[in-house]
Amino acid sequence: MTNLSVNINKIATLRNARGGNIPDILKTATDCEKFGAQGITVHPRPDERHIRYQDVRELEPFITTEFNIEGYPSENFIDLVISVKPTQVTLVPDSPDVLTSNAGWDTIKNETFLKEVISEFKRNGIRTSIFIETYSDMIKKAVETGTDRIELYTESYALNFSKNKEFAIKPFIEAAEIANEAGLGINAGHDLNLKNLKYFSQNIKGLLEVSIGHALISDALYYGLENTIQLYLRQLKI
């Protein structure tokens, strides 16, 4: 079964809109674990518009499943991750002003940079993953960066799923085959939801983990958090 990591950034966005501590980030994270999630994901950005650096530090002692920190590897981000020592760090090539992650790494152009960053995390015992698209040359070059895993950027799959699901999944199947042959672990995330998740998980061989935030938190407004997590977990049972 593929693990479900719940991204709680949207909970922080709601809290920050009003100030104070409602909803409680820590309670949400521990409740997600209690309800069956196998991991918690956070993505602190430089402007701290949702999850703040201090949130990450305060969460770490209480996360009992996998703690995954996403972000662009700036000096401040690297320092944060090394001090917190999560299970996994997922590197994304986001500029500070983007609304959400919208592209994978160019592992050819950024090979040297990624090698240096990844080696620093691995020296500190932190598993690494890099956000990447389905281009075969980028996946093959990812091996040379030293990363443990790749996270497939699934926006194109989500956009095309309702039109032609076989067409939508094809490049991801091919990407997974390349990653499996190269010995890379496979994660996935971005716009996965209750409609498209099951088909994706059924067709991607070696899928270890999905990270889902926006859709899951939105569904929780209607179904409740505990029930929603169970609904997502069912989609991952093949």
Catalytic sites, residue numbers = 43, 70, 190
What are the beta bridge partners of residue 149?
129, 185
| Half-sphere exposure of residue 177: CA atoms within 13 angstroms, side-chain side | 8
> 115, 78 in Cβ contact below 8 A?
no
Q: What is the CA radius of gyration of the chain?
A: 17
Dist CA 101 CA 155 (whole Å): 10
The two structure tokens encoding residue 223: 């179904």
In sequence order, what are the residues at sequence separation of 6 or more whose Cβ sits closer than 8 angstroms to the Cβ of residue 1?
236, 237, 238
Measured CA to CA, the distance from residue 77 to residue 75 in angstroms comes to 5
How far is Cα 29 from Cα 6, in angstroms, rounded to an integer?
A: 8
